[in-house]
Structure 1
Amino acid sequence: MSASLLRPALVLGLLSAVGPFAIDMYLPALPVIGADLGASVPVMQGTITGYFAAFGLAQLVYGPWSDQVGRKLPLYVGLAIFLLGSILCTLAPTAGWLIAGRVVQGLGGAAVMVVPRAVIRDMHTGHEATRMMAAIMLVISVSPFLAPLAGAGLILLVEWRAIFGVLAVAALVSLAMTRLLLAETLPVAQRQPVSLRAMRDGAAKLLTHKGFMALTFLGGFGMASFFVFIASASFVYAEDFGLSPTQFSLAFAVNALGFFAASQMAAKLGQRFGAQRVMVRATAGFALFTIALFLLALGGVSGLALTMAGLFCANACLGLIIPTAMVMALEEHGPIAGLASSLGGTMQMLVGGAMTAAAAPFFDGTVLPMLGAIALCGLLALLLSALVARLPEVQASA
């Protein structure tokens, strides 16, 4: 990667990792926190869905705002809100307070999801943008490997509240990086005034653009499979597979490895074979692996090794789908990249939250309901990929 891409990719990747850290570091502690606060499994899953819901809805604010004032001010505000939420979680006396703190975290963390996407669109388009997105995902890949282990270690050495103390420190470091290392990428002359009419017109354009909608929801159902896994895995791996928090952290890292390894190949494969073609075929692979896993579990054939292997392969397919879908969805919408990023991110988060909430009543501590919900995500993504393959405007932008 060229030096012109390396530094911004590193900074944006570290900023973007704050949101995943707020989830990944917390996962091994879910059963422990539930026991300490006297909360049931559905209530503890609510601390995750509350975060995702706030994270998704807040993106509607940060994107248009960043189109008006530039990219850095929304990052400052979002990180400050995330810091406040982390402090609230650290001091939470009850599960209700913890959920409230997680919602505040989500409201702030949304900024470091939506604004970096717009920054990428400010700087690059096409394969260069996909390459930069993949580089950012490589930096973010630190989260599923180190964050759960760090969380498990803190549980053993101190207590679960220390996890949120670390997240508060991460917010402070991110504020310093934004101030010192991140350049403003949206010139004053290119900024768009925020008005209800402009937002309405921009949203109407995006919501009626077949390529944008198909790509957004295709990536959304892929991300929804992650959300279902995140909300269920710590309980499934502990209750059904008998893993300790540290063992779960290692298993979680292996499941994530396929995604981040494959994401580094997305730009090269897209340049060689065509981004749309790669994405459609990867979606077929994702559906194949997730549906096969569910059918095997339905027939009584399941286990830790099989589940991890199947999810590894499915996530590798997602590593080709998600960065490409993100870039292609924004490709034609440079003047409203912030709004497009925020609207797309909101819809994806709401899809993920809806899938997680729909799966919750069927959760019984075993792997079958989790795999069933993930397989449904794979099937819906497959149906959308057939639509994407027929869209001429998407083909043109690829």
Structure 2
Amino acid sequence: MLRLALILGLLSAVGPFAIDMYLPALPRIAEALSANEAAVQITLTTYFIGFGLAQLIYGPMADALGRKAPLLLGLAIFAIGSVGAAQAGTIASLATWRAIQGLGGAALMVVPRAIIRDRYTGNEATKLMAMIMLVISISPMLAPLAGSAVIAVADWRMIFYVLLATSILSILLLTFALEETLAPDNRRPQRIAPLLSGAKRLLRDPYFMGLTFVGGFGMASFFVFIASASFVYTQQFGLTPTGFSIAFAVNAIGFFGASQVASPLGARIGIEKLVRIGVTGFAAMTVLLALIALAGLASFPVIVIGLLVANAFLGLVIPTTMVLALDPHGDIAGLASSLGGTMQMLAGGLMIVAIGPFFDGTALPMLLAIGLCGIVAAGLGWAVLRPDRTAREA
């Protein structure tokens, strides 16, 4: 399990690296391309939208062709998008190439989930997901610092050439280190009727849909933070790109630290109960932060510590909701993973668009949007995982 977690974690980290590494450069990109803050945030939105929509393709492809072929295709597309982004001359061009990066990076999110479902279910799957999260955790901790180091010695465009090199190394890792996990006898041909039937089954399953959007609004809160934090921390609080990177890493530690205890806690108290606890704590902390901001008391230490605690609760939610949503749909794990991932990424991208007109470079709009995400996630979590309902533990 450890070897598989390491490989899948490294592959899955490529997509988050493409998000986190260029965050310290967002103000410089805005200046270089003569764009305002909202326009630069769109380069994140287009990445998320491309990332989300492409999952609808990779999931069925993974069910039909096996797991490795879609991963190789995705990495190739990601590499092309990286070259284009490095050479972009306008913010519109950069946004377009970022969307192409997202189209490729999507494979690295949806297919590893299906690989996990090929091998494990229940608490074992949660354990593997948590191990993968541990590997992925290098992204929010190291990627912004790496981006800061790059822009300290080179132009912001060099960041995308570094991402190109990362994709090439990932292709080599995938080719020589990962075995195919879907046997030919278990592959499902790509026919429209079965796909529509499977999608209809998933969309009509309130358990799947509810859990998907619990995780989706949890992720949306993090996307809002990603899109806003570099401007808030550097402009409102005067941090350097390196200082922002350190603060960003601290905010992410809570999430990935908590994700490591999700499996043993789920085994002890039940996965569904763990999700209820997680979404409740997340909502309470994010709403508290929003109220503090409205009162004009949202200092830099308060924001960093508050988000650290909120993200710790979120770390109990994301890996467990992924596992719970897929468990009843093992026969269409690829489709379920892709459809769920698409809806989650679109939720995140739309939240960035929604906050754009209200963003003024301060923490208040960011914290209000994050608080809203917390309320919605908690409401859905308690509606879907009612304590009086028969537990659907694997």
TM over 0.5: yes
Query: In structure 1, what is the equivalent of residue 356 of structure 2?
Result: 360
Separation (CA, whole Å) in 2 of partners of 1:394 and 1:212: 15
**Partner AA of 2:304 in structure 1:** M
User: Does the 8 Å CA contact 1:221/1:377 hold for their aligned counterparts?
Assistant: yes
- Note if 1:277 corresponds to 2:273: yes
- Note if 1:248 corresponds to 2:244: yes
Q: CA RMSD in A?
A: 1.0
**Partner AA of 1:109 in structure 2:** G
Separation (CA, whole Å) in 1 of partners of 2:102 and 2:346: 13
Query: In structure 1, what is the equivalent of residue 194 of structure 2?
Result: 198
SS of 1:155 mapped into structure 2:
helix
Q: Residue 158 of structure 1 is aligned with which of 150, 154, 159?
A: 154
Q: Residue 366 of structure 2 is aligned with which of 363, 370, 383?
A: 370
C-alpha distance 213-394 of structure 1, shift in aligned 2 (>3 A): farther
User: Does the 8 Å CA contact 2:270/2:393 hold for their aligned counterparts?
Assistant: no
Q: Residue 205 of structure 2 is aligned with which of 202, 209, 212?
A: 209
Separation (CA, whole Å) in 1 of partners of 2:322 and 2:341: 9
Give a deviation string over 1:48-69, Cα, whole Å, max 9, x none. Answer: 0000000000000000010000
- Note if 1:382 corresponds to 2:378: yes
**Partner AA of 1:173 in structure 2:** L
Query: In structure 2, what is the equivalent of residue 127 of structure 1?
Result: 123
Q: Residue 217 of structure 2 is aligned with which of 214, 217, 221?
A: 221
Query: In structure 2, what is the equivalent of residue 68 of structure 1?
Result: 64
Separation (CA, whole Å) in 2 of partners of 1:181 and 1:332: 30
User: Does the 8 Å CA contact 2:271/2:393 hold for their aligned counterparts?
Assistant: no
Query: In structure 1, what is the equivalent of residue 91 of structure 2?
Result: 95
User: Does the 8 Å CA contact 2:272/2:393 hold for their aligned counterparts?
Assistant: no
User: Does the 8 Å CA contact 2:51/2:105 hold for their aligned counterparts?
Assistant: yes
SS of 1:395 mapped into structure 2:
coil
Mapping for residues 256-335 of structure 1, pairs under 5 Å: 256-335=252-331
Separation (CA, whole Å) in 2 of partners of 1:302 and 1:392: 38
Separation (CA, whole Å) in 2 of partners of 1:26 and 1:393: 44
**Partner AA of 2:155 in structure 1:** E
**Partner AA of 1:284 in structure 2:** T
Q: Percent of aligned pairs with the same residue?
A: 57
- Note if 1:43 corresponds to 2:39: yes
**Length-normalised TM-score, structure 1:** 0.98
Query: In structure 1, what is the equivalent of residue 139 of structure 2?
Result: 143
Separation (CA, whole Å) in 2 of partners of 1:148 and 1:382: 30
Separation (CA, whole Å) in 1 of partners of 2:29 and 2:246: 20
Separation (CA, whole Å) in 1 of partners of 2:75 and 2:387: 38
**Partner AA of 1:62 in structure 2:** Y
- Note if 1:351 corresponds to 2:347: yes
Q: Residue 28 of structure 1 is aligned with which of 24, 38, 60?
A: 24
**Length-normalised TM-score, structure 2:** 0.99
Q: Residue 110 of structure 2 is aligned with which of 111, 114, 119?
A: 114
Per the TM alignment, residue 389 of structure 1 is displaced from its structure 2 partner at its CA by 2.0
Give a deviation string over 1:127-164, Cα, whole Å, max 9, x none. Answer: 00000000000000000111100101111111111100
